[in-house]
Amino acid sequence: MLGADDVLDPRPRRVLVAGTAGVGKTTTARRIGRTLGIPHTEIDSIHHGPDWTPRATFVPEVEAFTGQPTWVTEWQYTATRPMLAHRADTLVWIDLPVHVAISRLVRRTLRRRIHRTELWNGNVEPPLRTFFTDRGHIVRWGLRTQHETRRRVAIVERSVPHLRIVHLRSQAEVDRFVQHLGDRRR
């Protein structure tokens, strides 16, 4: 497993960003895309249809964009995780401490709900009371699945030998890693 300061040679062309809810997967994927000059597809935006229903075109759309020579996206959703791992050349695992991930997730959820921020296809965060009534509420789900990524990364490390895995344990490491990608671009 690689770290923030390891040189990635050859340069990443098909990148996954993994981590639990709230660690900054989408923000980091977007930054990696800009830094490397490769397209970022926010996987949530093609998964969620109106009223949070999964879109029927989700898997074909993931197949289409991952069939391209360069891309970056988040490593999410059971239906596509194996395909994504096999098609990627690099997996960036953001493994922040639990208290950091959960506090970010709570702040993000509150901010989105208070401002009624539209996320994907007309969806907004549900009322705050649903934290208590909906087992699938994003914060409850984030708490329940904190250690799932570690298990998934261990499996993919054994089963997809061509996949380079970069393990980042702090925001400083994430920032340094993205900076190094830009430095090495020249």
Does residue 74 lie in a domain region? yes
Does residue 34 lie in a domain region? yes
Does residue 7 lie in a domain region? no
Does residue 4 lie in a domain region? no
Q: Distance between CA 155 and CA 149 in Å, rounded?
A: 10
CA distances from 75 to 18, 66, 118, 129, 149 (A): 5, 12, 22, 29, 10
pLDDT in tens, 57-68: 999 999 999 999
Residue 86 is predicted with a pLDDT of 98
Residue 27 has pLDDT above 80, yes or no: yes
Tokens of 132: 């208590």
Q: Enter the DSSP assignment of 16.
A: E
Does residue 43 lie in a domain region? yes
Residue 92 is predicted with a pLDDT of 98
Residue 185 has pLDDT above 80, yes or no: no
The total of structural domains in the chain comes to 1
Please give the average per-residue pLDDT across 61-89, as a whole number: 97
Note the pTM of the prediction, 2 decimals: 0.92
pLDDT in tens, 84-129: 999 999 999 999 999 999 999 889 888 888 888 888 888 888 888 8
Q: How far apart are the first and last CA of the chain?
A: 24
CATH code, 145: 3.40.50.300
Q: Distance between CA 164 and CA 143 in Å, rounded?
A: 28
Does residue 8 lie in a domain region? no
DSSP of 160-186: -TT-EEEEE-SHHHHHHHHHHHHHTT-
- Nearest 5°: the CA angle 82, 86, 92 is 90
Residue 186 is predicted with a pLDDT of 39
Does residue 170 lie in a domain region? yes
Residue 121 is predicted with a pLDDT of 86
Q: Distance between CA 20 and CA 159 in Å, rounded?
A: 21
Does residue 5 lie in a domain region? no
Residue 52 has pLDDT above 50, yes or no: yes
Structural domain of residue 103, as residue ranges?
14-183
Residue 137 has pLDDT above 80, yes or no: no
Residue 184 is predicted with a pLDDT of 61
The residue among 14 and 129 whose pLDDT is bigger is 14
